[in-house]
Chain A
């Protein structure tokens, strides 16, 4: 087995004398990560109880990316996610109940059961959809950024996708499009080493699937430790600032690892022995818990955050279990803008 990259590169960010992040943000970054972990772990438990149906794609182990990018955003910034989008949706402040409700096909879900796990959307939180066709949303994110540029609005558009996306045509079309028009869009590749079941390295011509392609579009190659929320947050912050000042798009590759399989149907037996365990020594939440302590945050404060999040997830779970299924009268609504589905007179 290859040595995990973090064991080689190291990733020390703890410099108490020169703390550019600050305690308030650090506590937020921690809390977000814990919430994503707890909510997705709960989604998995509910799946085992057959209360979550269909498919679901968890980001367990990848929480630092969602937490870092979302917490560096301003209200009004836009997120475009993939089918592995629970974490990015929650990180924008969407209530756990709304997400679990959608996963559990309840009327209290974000889209009342009409979208499902792979299409989480909360426009009021800037979550402009989760897209389940690989690569589809990169061009769409370009369009949202084009609108901001055209109207002189200063929001940024952030588009998350996996390593597998870097091999589809839409990725390359979108990168070129964003670059030629200098669009305020940030492309974030979450490289969790496996496209679905196949290691990304086996099917990609370059070592770093996103970063090594950046030069082709005149962009700086950016490769970061995606399990360290501080590094992610700083990188996001810098990229957003560039975008807001008209310096154009960024492509950021975040190295990470998913603890579970591709989807709920996948036990991930294709992974070499010891790989998961090695990455768990670099778990983003354990890492960040240690970081907080290094910065002098007391165990009490940390434990309170963890307990509070657990309570919220527990309450959300009970509300979802008690919620009714969606009613039949929404079946044919919102096909067209008039609210209905009429295609003839």
Chain B
């Protein structure tokens, strides 16, 4: 057992898979010699050399396309897109190419790749370097979508993503990079599509993803002091989605809250709320409530950015009010 930062866990997760499988290669902008702009890939170039760990030009389409061509023909590439906001300049690969080649070819083509990307707010970078864009990917048939919340899960889910035969978009929350967590020694391999109950409780289910997980846990702590016992679930993987764990929890607590960093419209919580409404309506004792960022671009100033995201206080207060009404 060791204490590791989230960013160190990224490098360890990639290294674990590169050591295991010589077909795993890794490339992106500034990822090799510089160790990544977020220093999440430090040491990989030194350990695996210039053939397997490569710096690319600022060419997001070329990065994505090259990953796909390599994946189709036998490699297991990990590609980095520095900020998930940049998905917008290479979205053809995410929306049209990775996810559709298997279907369109009637199963002749495969696309086993991982795209890692820095996602989410908190760095005061403004509207084009701070977004949570998981829902951009979640809606596309053929993709898998993962967003870990802690160092241990980074390694386990990275292993699951690299070993998965489908294209996986791997969201790393930028504000989580410096956070620390206990990580067991040795190989860690997780399973996509498995949510985790990080805090059991009886009165309400809170679903959260990535940076919203620690906030939800903290909010649950505040609510516990008021005698409200919340269950917090780290969704971890949006596709595949572990609806069994979610529905099971709602069946016990009878209330559902989602905590989403994305702007409100079509956030991942909307889909889950619709599933719960459809399949567990009579388990509910009150309306499902979504706690999200409002439908606005993200502001840059620290005070404004802090206000617009779901805060611990807003999460706790929303749940308290909803449960007492």
Query: Which residues on A are within 8 Å of B, measured CB to CB?
Result: 78, 110-112, 114-116, 119, 121-124, 128-129, 131, 133, 135-148, 150-151, 157, 169-170, 173-174, 176-177, 180-181, 330, 333-339, 341-345
Interface residues of B (CB under 8 A from A): 25, 51, 54, 56-57, 59, 61-75, 77, 92-93, 96-97, 101-110, 112, 141-142, 144, 164-166, 193, 239-244, 275
In the complex, what residues of B have CB within 8 A of residue A334's CB? 102-103, 105-107
Question: Nearest Cβ distance between residue B165 and chain A, in whole angstroms?
Answer: 4
Given contacts A139-B64, A177-B56, contact A333 B107 (CB under 8 A): yes
A residues near B243, Cβ cutoff 8 Å: 344-345
Contact B72 A119 (CB under 8 A): no
Find out whether the CB atom of B193 lies under 8 angstroms from the CB atom of A345: yes
Check A141–B62 contact: CB distance below 8 A. Answer: no
14 new A-B contacts, CB < 8 A, other than A140-B68, A345-B241, are A114-B106, A121-B101, A121-B108, A124-B108, A136-B65, A140-B65, A147-B69, A170-B65, A176-B59, A181-B54, A335-B103, A336-B102, A341-B141, A343-B241
Cross-chain contact of B74 among A139, A151, A173 (Cβ < 8 A): A151
Closest beta carbon of chain B to A3's beta carbon, Å: 38
**Cα distance A131–B65 in the bound complex, in angstroms:** 12
Contact check, B104 vs A147: say whether CB atoms are below 8 A apart. Answer: no
A111 and B105 in contact, given A147-B73, A177-B57 (Cβ under 8 angstroms): yes
Decide: A145 and B104 in contact? CB cutoff 8 A. no
Query: Cβ of A146 and Cβ of B102 under 8 Å apart?
Result: no
Query: Hey, which chain A residues are within 8 Å of B106, CB to CB?
Result: 110-112, 114-115, 330, 334
Say which residue of A111, A138, A143, A181 sits within 8 Å of B73 (CB atoms). A143
- 7 residue pairs of the A-B complex, CB under 8 angstroms, read A150-B25, A170-B92, A334-B103, A335-B103, A343-B241, A345-B240, A345-B242
Taking the nearest CB of chain B, how far is it from the CB of A74, in angstroms?
15
Smallest CB gap from B238: residue in A: A343
Nearest first, the 6 A-B pairs at minimum CB distance are A139-B65, A143-B69, A337-B165, A143-B66, A173-B62, A173-B59
Chain B's nearest CB lies how many Å from the CB of A136?
5
Most buried by A among B61, B67, B112: B61
* A150 in contact with B141 (CB, 8 Å): no
Q: Taking CB as reference atom, which chain B residue is nearest A185?
A: B69
On whether the beta carbons of B97 and A136 are closer than 8 Å, the reply is: yes
A333 to chain B, nearest CB (A): 7
B242 touches A140 (CB 8 A): no
Q: How far apart are the CA atoms of A285 and B215 in the complex, in Å? A: 70
Cα A149 to Cα B262 with chains together (Å): 41
Q: Which of B63, B72, B164, B275 has the most CB of A within 10 A?
A: B72
List of A residues within 8 angstroms of B65 by Cβ:
136-143, 170, 173-174
Q: How far is the CA of A124 from the CA of B109 in the complex (A)?
A: 10
Is the pair A139, B104 in contact by a Cβ cutoff of 8 Å?
Answer: no
Which residues of A sit under 8 angstroms from B144, Cβ to Cβ? 336
Contact A129 B142, beta carbon cutoff 8 Å: no
With known contacts A119-B105, A145-B69, A146-B69, A335–B141 Cβ distance under 8 A: yes
Known interface pairs A142-B62, A142-B69; A337-B105 also in contact (CB < 8 Å): no
Q: Are A337 and B102 neighbours in the complex by a CB distance under 8 Å?
A: yes
Cβ B70 vs Cβ A146 within 8 A: yes
A129 to B104, CA, bound (A): 9
Contact B142 A139 (CB under 8 A): no
Q: How far is the CA of A22 from the CA of B67 in the complex (A)?
A: 40
| B109 touching A123, Cβ below 8 Å | yes
- The residues of B that contact A330 with a CB separation of less than 8 Å are 106
Q: Which residues on B sit within 8 Å (CB–CB) of A112? A: 106
The reply to whether B66 and A146 form a contact with Cβ atoms under 8 Å apart is yes
Nearest A residue to B77 via CB reads A143
Interchain CB contact under 8 A, B240 and A133: no
Q: Evaluate contact between B107 and A174: CB separation under 8 angstroms.
A: no
With most chain B CB atoms within 10 A of its CB, the pick from A110, A170, A343 is A343
Minimum CB–CB distance for B76 against chain A, Å: 10
Which residues of chain A are within 8 angstroms of B51 by Cβ–Cβ distance?
Answer: 150
Partner of A136, one of B66, B72, B96, B165: B96
* Closest beta carbon of chain A to B239's beta carbon, Å: 5
* Contact between B240 and A343, CB atoms less than 8 A apart: yes
Q: Is B241 a contact of A337 with CB atoms below 8 Å?
A: no
Chain A nearest CB from B85 CB (Å) reads 17
Instruction: Name the distance in Å between B89's Cβ and chain A's nearest Cβ.
Output: 8
Q: How far is the CB of B307 from chain A (nearest CB, A)?
A: 34
Are A128 and B240 touching (Cβ within 8 A)? no
Cβ contact within 8 Å between A142 and B244? no
Q: Which residue of A lies closest to B272 (CB)?
A: A344
Chain B residues closer than 8 Å to A140, beta-carbon distance: 65-66, 68-69, 72, 97
CB pair B108 A111 closer than 8 Å:
yes
Is A136 a contact partner of B77 (Cβ separation < 8 A)?
no
Compute how far the CA of A39 lies from the CA of B59 in the bound complex, rounded to whole angstroms: 39
Is B70 in contact with A129, judged by CB distance below 8 angstroms? no
A137 CA to B93 CA, complexed, in Å: 10
B73 and A173: CB pair below 8 A? no
> Which residues of B are found within 8 Å of A111, using beta-carbon distances?
104-106, 108
Knowing A140-B97, A177-B57, A345-B243, the reply to whether A335 touches B72 (Cβ < 8 A) is no
A148 (CB) vs chain B CBs: closest residue: B73
Q: How far is the CA of A122 from the CA of B165 in the complex (A)?
A: 20
Q: Which residue of the partner chain, among A114, A131, A139, contacts B62 with CB atoms under 8 Å? A: A139
**Chain A proximity of B320: nearest CB distance (Å):** 31
B56 contact set on A, CB distance < 8 A: 177
Structural contact, B240 and A139, CB atoms closer than 8 A: no
Q: Are A143 and B104 in contact (CB under 8 A)?
A: no
Complex Cα distance, B68 from A135, in Å, reads 14
A131 to B61, CA, bound (A): 15
| CA distance in complex: A139, B57 (Å) | 13
Question: Which of these, A143, A169, A339, contacts B68 with CB under 8 Å?
Answer: A143
Within the complex, the shortest CB–CB distance from B31 to chain A, in Å, comes to 15
